[in-house]
Amino acid sequence: GQDAVRALVDQIRESFGMARARLIRDGEEVASSSAALAGTASGRARAGQWRRSSLPVGEGARLELDGPALDASGQKLLPVITAQLATALDRADLSRAAASGKVRTALLSALGHDLRRPLASATAAVTGLRSAAGELTGTDRAELLETAAESLSALSGLIEDLVDVRRLETGALAVTMAAVDVEDVIGDALDEAGAGPDQVSLDVEPDLPVLEADAALLRRVLVNLLTNALRHSPGGVELSARRAGGTGVVSEGEDVGDVVELSVADHGPGIDPGRRAEIFMPFQRLGDDDNTTGLGLGLALSKGFVEGMGGTLEPEDTPGGGLTMVVSLHRWPGEDG
């Protein structure tokens, strides 16, 4: 399993009656297990009888055991178990390398395809303007300029997404919290997504409290969710806003009226519950962007933005089929409910 290394370290400590077992590699602790007895008075009293043993585990790692001296059978058995531990450590390394390789492959693919496409369109448009400047009509010139502008805007957006992913990973994302009106941010998001009433059905509860959020980030979240939902449900989606019904970020001692849920529901194929965690991974297009547009960062960024505002973003089933993405955010402190 994924926790095989830690499980083996736990088992070694328990099987040999040790106070502590630690796996060290390159001077850093990989896994550690300590007995509850070690922190008690009787355990500390027995510490004077403990000894530390150190055994090699594969290449560059060692197992440290603090506890009583091993008997003859333990000394024979322990090398067999450390060999299993070395195997588990190698498999864990291979799994991480494979995952890292997938991310690198996805990134290279995205850079080679998604970024190249708008750059090529802009280059072609500018080249056309330069080479045939005297032969172009006003309409032709305007179309080429529009193509260049749209392509450069798309390229700028892709690069901004890549930069924001890096900021999220390093904890450097700037979040400016303020009082945000729900209806205002919904209206801005619909305008930016280019989604009209024939595509989006609105259901906004009256007299909703003002949100504690970053208006720009929340708008980007809603635009991402709407764009994805419309891609998977061309017939239309539902955008709703209401006070929470006991879910989302409501914590102990907090009234449900202190949290507002913004939901975007589509009627597409939905996503298997066992794979829902995947949609929030960078460069993942399952349930996010398709294979012809974007870098597959929309939902990864959306989740990071919402969590940066102290909220949650969770997927749910749409009644009748499809996927509903639920954003839960707190009410602005001191705002009357």
- Residue whose entry in the numeric block shows the structure tokens 């954003």: 327
Distance of CA 241 to the CA centre of its chain: 23
Q: Mean of the pLDDT values across residues 263-270?
A: 91
- Would you say domain 178-330 falls under CATH 3.30.565.10? yes
| Fold agreement (4-99, 178-330) | no
What are the residue boundaries of the structural domains of the chain, listed by start? 4-99, 114-170, 178-330
* CATH number, domain 4-99, options 3.30.450.30, 3.40.50.300, 3.30.70.100, 3.30.70.1560: 3.30.450.30
pLDDT by residue (tens digit) across 88-132?
887 777 666 555 555 556 556 556 556 777 888 888 888 888 887
Look over the chain and give the mean of its residue pLDDT values, rounded to a whole number.
Answer: 79
User: Which of 271, 158, 161, 142 minimizes the C-alpha distance to 221?
Assistant: 161
pLDDT for position 250: 45
Q: What is the model's pTM?
A: 0.57
Cβ-based neighbour number of residue 303 at 10 Å:
22
Nearest-5° angle of CA 330, CA 313, CA 332? Answer: 10
pLDDT for position 71: 81
